[in-house]
A and B are shown apart, each in its own frame.
Chain A
């Protein structure tokens, strides 16, 4: 359990290869977490992150998890919780960090690719999020960290499937927290701005770009405060509000200017 001084003992990362997910996990291990379960589609790609976490002092297990295969999530998540208990105990914090970023513009993108992005980024979060919520409610405590995005505040054409899915994820995170009232389980929705990571390596940076470490420290502060929503960096809370409410002609101008 997360102890009296706010230190979780055991962390589960769905999307165990995600740079942001791993940065948050390293920050939690730095604060005293002892057990980490990393879940990803290709477990071979978890070797390096697992080794890094072990070097930081955590016991690590890896497990295969395919975000798109929603039928498998209930079982895979149950197994992940079992592994965590064998390692160090109940899962105190689960980070839903997986996600795809599609590359093409709307008229050029194969529709199936856009569908996969929506499946992974939205349907995968809904089903695995529910599976985690049910496991945590059964243990009477836990925190789910859902990675949303500033992009979900208003879908812009160049990121349409991704942004639309993140808008759904954002609504899901907010609603799930409300639905779990009284179960001992909390949901924290994280809305990072443009984060420099391997997902965005071949893309042009945006204003207020931030680092995975910065997102991690903002997430830890949010956990300490019991926040339901965390913006990272904090200043993009304002950006989010502006782009959300901006009349469409002005939004178009803003996008066109870049």
Chain B
């Protein structure tokens, strides 16, 4: 019996990384590409969605009452394979369930790196494409999709299709940022970039308030490939003060000469599974933020790539700190020129009862052509809140309205609460995307809790207004 056989599937309660809005689905682990196709054939009326490492914060990779194809579950299968590097073309072909961490481990030792790395390495290639993830170099290098040359997609019916910009531009772009609703990414060919060392040269700068933080980011982006700002929004007195960290890959000449490409030994710990209550409280966050802001900060330092790109990966299962009710991350993008709206949103968050535990601000470069890709040129703000506060939903709805009115949008990969009526306002090309999605999935098999909530696909629009 193949492991893609749904009779071999297990009913499992799934949530996103935020640990909120659970639902139970039949989870199947495909061992071969044929298993993915078999799963589609066995999917019932509640449809199918692929799930990678479950790092989308919301309900994107869960499908209550339906089937969930777990692409990252099994090692040593076609879906997690990491192919040889094509040096002359600077590409690598990998399985859709391979993680960014596994790929980085394989390529860094020979002086290559993936050109876009998000805030965690625990993301599959399928997930990185489906969310069109971005990194701290978006203002220079764009989002993940810009570095994908081709991918193999298993549609709901028929044989897998190799999709490139030349073969089917509409499908390529509908899949980039398409939240897995155009099919299962079985494999992808990605562009790599050369690095001389495994280190980043990081420049730190404290900023006194939000305007100073924004100015520092603009300045950093002019001269550095990577930039991001940590913001202290936990107390009104902090006024959006923060720390801007700008960085570039360290050249061989800048780094200690031995073992330039050796794997660094990184400090790691994991939060134990039993945290009975939310530990993220305002007083604690304020104290932590004040200490973090004032900590001894070298203006310049060398840091491993992993530590700069994904500092939170050092603390495994950090989402458990929020207790059984979990967390909500609100990530919005605002067009350049809408700084006044950004200030108003930061102001509103600072004064709201919900505790903004961790806040990050970054500038985006121009967006790409994909209709549902999140980044647009301007600003992006991401804020983590404990999910337990009953007033949080209404206050985030208000922020949605400000964001939409300013021509901005909320990131589907982080969302488990937005209302469906915001989607056409935030993603005006949704109908174009729906047409392509319906072409590849006329029967409406691909769906997820996110799709049912936001009515992204035309099929979900038919079943419920």
Name A's B-contacting residues (CB within 8 A): 1-7, 9, 31-32, 85-90, 137-141, 182-184, 220, 224, 226
Interface hits, B324-341 → A, CB 8 Å: 324, 326, 328
Complex CA gap A7/B397 in Å reads 12
Complex CA gap A15/B394 in Å reads 29
**B381 interfacial contact with A, CB 8 Å:** no
Question: 20 pairs across A/B with beta carbons < 8 Å?
Answer: A1-B64, A1-B449, A4-B58, A4-B416, A4-B417, A5-B390, A5-B393, A7-B417, A9-B453, A87-B464, A88-B465, A89-B464, A90-B64, A140-B25, A141-B24, A141-B65, A182-B11, A183-B24, A224-B388, A226-B324
**B452 interfacial contact with A, CB 8 Å:** yes
Chain B CB within 10 A, most for which of A31, A90, A182: A90
Q: Which residues does chain B contribute within 8 Å of A6, judged by CB atoms?
A: 387-388, 390, 393
Would A32 and B465 be within 8 Å (CB), given that A5-B387, A139-B65 are in contact?
A: no
Chain A CB within 10 A, most for which of B18, B326, B465: B465
Q: Min CB distance, B384 to chain A, in Å?
A: 12
Q: Min CB distance, A50 to chain B, in Å?
A: 18
- Residue of B whose beta carbon sits closest to that of A84: B464
**B66 interfacial contact with A, CB 8 Å:** yes
Q: Interface 1/0s, chain B 357-386, versus A by CB < 8 A?
A: 000000000000000000000000000000
Extra A-B contacts (8), CB below 8 Å, given A5-B396, A9-B453: A4-B18, A5-B393, A5-B417, A31-B394, A85-B464, A137-B24, A139-B64, A184-B23
State whether B65 touches A138 (Cβ < 8 A): yes
Would A3 and B64 be within 8 Å (CB), given that A86-B464, A88-B465, A140-B25 are in contact?
A: no
Would A141 and B23 be within 8 Å (CB), given that A1-B59, A1-B64, A90-B64 are in contact?
A: yes
State whether B22 touches A184 (Cβ < 8 A): yes
| Secondary structure type dominating chain A contacts | loop
State whether B464 touches A88 (Cβ < 8 A): yes
**B13 interfacial contact with A, CB 8 Å:** yes
- Residue of A whose beta carbon sits closest to that of B387: A4
Q: Which residues does chain A contribute within 8 Å of B394, judged by CB atoms?
A: 31-32
Complex CA gap A7/B453 in Å reads 12
Name B's A-contacting residues (CB within 8 A): 11, 13, 18, 20-25, 46, 58-59, 63-66, 324, 326, 328, 387-390, 392-394, 396-397, 416-417, 449, 452-453, 463-465
Complex CA gap A183/B452 in Å reads 19
Complex CA gap A184/B397 in Å reads 26
Q: Which residues does chain A contribute within 8 Å of B22, judged by CB atoms?
A: 141, 184
Complex CA gap A226/B277 in Å reads 13
- Residue of A whose beta carbon sits closest to that of B324: A226
Chain B CB within 10 A, most for which of A3, A137, A182: A3
The 9 A-B residue pairs with the shortest CB-CB distance in the complex, in nearest-first order: A140-B64, A5-B393, A184-B24, A4-B20, A4-B416, A140-B65, A140-B24, A141-B23, A139-B65
Q: Which residues does chain A contribute within 8 Å of B25, judged by CB atoms?
A: 140
State whether A4 touches B465 (Cβ < 8 A): no
Q: Which residues does chain B contribute within 8 Å of A32, judged by CB atoms?
A: 393-394, 397
- Residue of A whose beta carbon sits closest to that of B59: A1
Complex CA gap A138/B396 in Å reads 31
Q: Which residues does chain B contribute within 8 Å of A140, judged by CB atoms?
A: 23-25, 46, 63-66
- Residue of A whose beta carbon sits closest to that of B62: A140
Chain B CB within 10 A, most for which of A5, A9, A88: A5
State whether A3 touches B65 (Cβ < 8 A): no
Q: Which residues does chain B contribute within 8 Å of A182, judged by CB atoms?
A: 11, 13, 24
Q: Which residues does chain A contribute within 8 Å of B452, judged by CB atoms?
A: 1, 89-90
Q: Min CB distance, A66 to chain B, in Å?
A: 27
- Residue of A whose beta carbon sits closest to that of B21: A4
Chain A CB within 10 A, most for which of B21, B25, B389, B463: B21
Q: Min CB distance, B317 to chain A, in Å?
A: 18
Q: Which residues does chain B contribute within 8 Å of A183, judged by CB atoms?
A: 11, 24
Q: Which residues does chain A contribute within 8 Å of B390, judged by CB atoms?
A: 5-6, 31, 220, 224
Q: Min CB distance, B394 to chain A, in Å?
A: 7
Complex CA gap A188/B394 in Å reads 25
Q: Which residues does chain B contribute within 8 Å of A141, judged by CB atoms?
A: 22-24, 64-65
- Residue of A whose beta carbon sits closest to that of B16: A4
Complex CA gap A61/B348 in Å reads 37
Complex CA gap A100/B136 in Å reads 63
State whether B416 touches A89 (Cβ < 8 A): no
Complex CA gap A31/B417 in Å reads 13
Q: Which residues does chain A contribute within 8 Å of B465, judged by CB atoms?
A: 86-88
State whether B64 touches A4 (Cβ < 8 A): no
